Amino acid sequence: MPPKPEPLDIPTFATTQLTLLARELAAETAETSLLASTFSAAGLARAGLAILNLAPTSQRTGLGGKTVVELGLDSAVAGKGREGADIPEHGIRVGDIVGVREQVSGAAKKREREGAAKKGVEGVVLRVGRERVEVALDGEEVEVPGGRLWMWVCRGAVEVLGGHDG
């Protein structure tokens, strides 16, 4: 007859899980911060932390008065006659906190780049599809930058959960 398993100590299990989640959060935050401070937008896109050449395709008010912006691939990049072209491969997931900012050209002056950085908005990814990404922005009257945009991960989804004190 096989030995009887020992009963699981729930408080010990919960403490262990919370410790592991805290470690995962710290590792993910450190990795994202390092990549964001080290690489350009193109480098972040290659690492799967950004999507370049986006354009707003629609904007609506969602639950709680949040502005929901749908971003799809810019038609100038998608090519002629390709409605709803697929966005490139990326690692952005539902729940990630992302920044959306105007994409300046490589030849832009430093002052223009700094100005574009200040005009960006942050939000939470609601839905990710082949052809579009939906982002919920805080508030009803949020000024979404115009022109060609890019989106990058500011903080991972785990960080949102890590802020709760229980």
Model confidence pLDDT, tens digit, residues 22-77? 999 888 878 877 877 788 888 888 888 889 989 899 988 888 888 899 999 888 77
Angstrom distance (rounded) from CA 44 to CA 92: 11
Residue 4 resides in a domain: no
Q: How many domains does the chain divide into?
A: 1
For position 158, what pLDDT does the model report? Answer: 42
Residue 110 resides in a domain: yes
Residue 3 resides in a domain: no
Residue 2 resides in a domain: no
Which residue segment(s) compose the domain that 19 sits in? 10-162
Residue 61 resides in a domain: yes
The pTM score is 0.68
| Residue 83's CATH number | 2.40.30.270
